[in-house]
Structure 1
């Protein structure tokens, strides 16, 4: 079995390229990003999860293992508006079908990042990244002595990803696995799934979401006239949480905005409506960890999906 060290790929400067402007105060991400070093000033820490074994198991369109590199390339030329530091912590790579090994390796990498005060932003990778992210956060909170924290999970996604993991663990099962883990730990399971497509989720999945008390808002509910109400619902959810984990499956966006995913959305929720929800989560003071999943560069058109994902990372990091 490969070790965590053998699965890790270090910072790759070649991915961070872009123009350099002569005017003062004109930096871009490629000029400010730093390789992660122990003891650095806390900031946002980008960590890739180069894995789509879960997508393959879920019979989806593979290619998300190339997502972290594509996202970095799209982020590199964006204008720099942060005050705090930003680090690239490299990648965790999955070898073949060894999804569970890669998930544990990612969790193990996340624990020290959070322990040093960084905000990790994981660049996926298939949505199997969610169980890895959760595992790292749970390890971190346990190490800090928390016995029953109220961890809110906000998933912006066209899919619940609540399939039964007893059949096969995949990109379609992470939140069922998290629910099981919460039950074993005696922690409350607090899950909000925003952007769900009724056409893409079976009745069994809606029933499972109801059994687990999931906060559900369908794609057709998230419209401009209803956005204020959705924001209030989200605020109510956030208020009852001690910590927050945000996970963004890029297939929540319409196919025209995000064609490069495993399962493009026929409808989706427009980026202009997703951004205010992300801002509310970012600014609430409880966000501990975020990830973006399902960027598939081989299926992308004109880099649209990578650009949208880069914009979301940029948005997530604007408050520091």
Structure 2
């Protein structure tokens, strides 16, 4: 079965201006399997979906994240277009998981991510479960094998679970750590209640840097910025991954593992801006949207606005 699906063009719709006043009028759909992907000759973003929640299922989470990419597209579609004319945004379709074969799906995804990076697009990957991170990192590493890649994860969880039988949405960074000569990982928003003593022990073993949610607040902006800057200075490129379950469930109810004690939007936006300012950010993803449990699409809207914020920050730098 084919693991690739071109995006349904009807997802990108809304008011028609005839002058690209809205994102759905600016977006260009590309079929990665049957069309030639042009080189990006200016600031260019590629949107690629990871329609997979097999990892969430294996991790005993609430399934439904496979529907996340299309819901985020729907919330991006009607947003106003304030990007310069030369900024290109393409939708490169979805990678889907067939017959529960997570490992093949991750390998297929990594290849597509590397392909987009080779053509000089900034990747915006829409999850899907956080098992996407293992594929995403490997795609970046294939593209730039001799570079030190720093991972910054906005999340309630370390996702450093050791593999017992198969990888899942709780194991991606452990898998990366085990396979990497140099493992650079910074977690922002970790919740003690959501991570066992064993996970903290694993984090210490691999020298993971982290800030817990009780300190990941606007009042600690100076120390958080210093942590991000210090982390960025020690790597060649940054990969940003945003797990929506890190936010308070008042902002993001539609996730696989909601929590009322998550971090706020203000410190997340500041952190993202600081990360973009390093000019080392190469690729990003946003994961764990579960539309089945969303309320008035507010989690999908949050995801869309975060993506818009990142594109605006990068294209303005």
Matched residue, 2:3: 7
Matched, 1:257 2:251: yes
Do 1:110 and 1:136's aligned partners in 2 also have CA atoms closer than 8 Å? yes
Matched, 1:85 2:117: no
Do 2:72 and 2:303's aligned partners in 1 also have CA atoms closer than 8 Å? yes
Per-residue deviation at 1:168?
A: 3.0
Matches within 5 A, 1:203-242: 203-242=197-236
In structure 1, what is the Cα distance between the partners aligned to 2:125 and 2:111?
13
Do 1:253 and 1:268's aligned partners in 2 also have CA atoms closer than 8 Å? yes
Alignment equivalent of 1:131, drawn from 106, 129, 134:
134
How large is the Cα RMSD of the aligned pairs?
A: 1.3
Do 1:53 and 1:96's aligned partners in 2 also have CA atoms closer than 8 Å? no
In structure 2, what is the Cα distance between the partners aligned to 1:116 and 1:299?
36
Per-residue deviation at 1:283?
A: 2.4
In structure 2, what is the Cα distance between the partners aligned to 1:254 and 1:193?
16
Per-residue deviation at 1:31?
A: 0.8
Matches within 5 A, 1:46-65: 46-65=47-66
In structure 2, what is the Cα distance between the partners aligned to 1:52 and 1:31?
30
In structure 2, what is the Cα distance between the partners aligned to 1:221 and 1:18?
40
Matched, 1:285 2:288: no
Do 2:24 and 2:78's aligned partners in 1 also have CA atoms closer than 8 Å? yes
Per-residue deviation at 1:17?
A: 1.1
Q: Which runs of 5+ in 2 are unaligned?
A: 31-35
Matched, 1:19 2:15: yes
In structure 2, what is the Cα distance between the partners aligned to 1:225 and 1:243?
28
In structure 2, what is the Cα distance between the partners aligned to 1:131 and 1:223?
28
Per-residue deviation at 1:219?
A: 0.7
Matched, 1:295 2:298: no
Alignment equivalent of 2:27, drawn from 30, 33, 38:
33
Q: Deviations over 1:204-227 (max 9, x none)?
A: 101110111111101111112112
Matched residue, 2:74: 73
In structure 2, what is the Cα distance between the partners aligned to 1:82 and 1:11?
22
State the secondary structure of the residue aligned to 2:98.
coil
Do 2:51 and 2:66's aligned partners in 1 also have CA atoms closer than 8 Å? yes
State the secondary structure of the residue aligned to 1:247.
strand
State the secondary structure of the residue aligned to 1:49.
strand
Matched residue, 2:170: 172
Per-residue deviation at 1:60?
A: 0.3
State the secondary structure of the residue aligned to 1:48.
strand
State the secondary structure of the residue aligned to 2:126.
strand
State the secondary structure of the residue aligned to 2:99.
coil
In structure 1, what is the Cα distance between the partners aligned to 2:251 and 2:16?
28
In structure 2, what is the Cα distance between the partners aligned to 1:60 and 1:73?
25
State the secondary structure of the residue aligned to 2:238.
strand
Per-residue deviation at 1:246?
A: 0.5
Give TM-score, length-normalised by structure 1.
Answer: 0.92
When the two structures are aligned, how many residues end up with a matched partner? Answer: 305
State the secondary structure of the residue aligned to 2:115.
helix
Give TM-score, length-normalised by structure 2.
Answer: 0.93
Q: Which runs of 5+ in 1 are unaligned?
A: none
Matches within 5 A, 1:139-218: 139-142=142-145, 146=146, 149-182=147-180, 186=181, 188-218=182-212
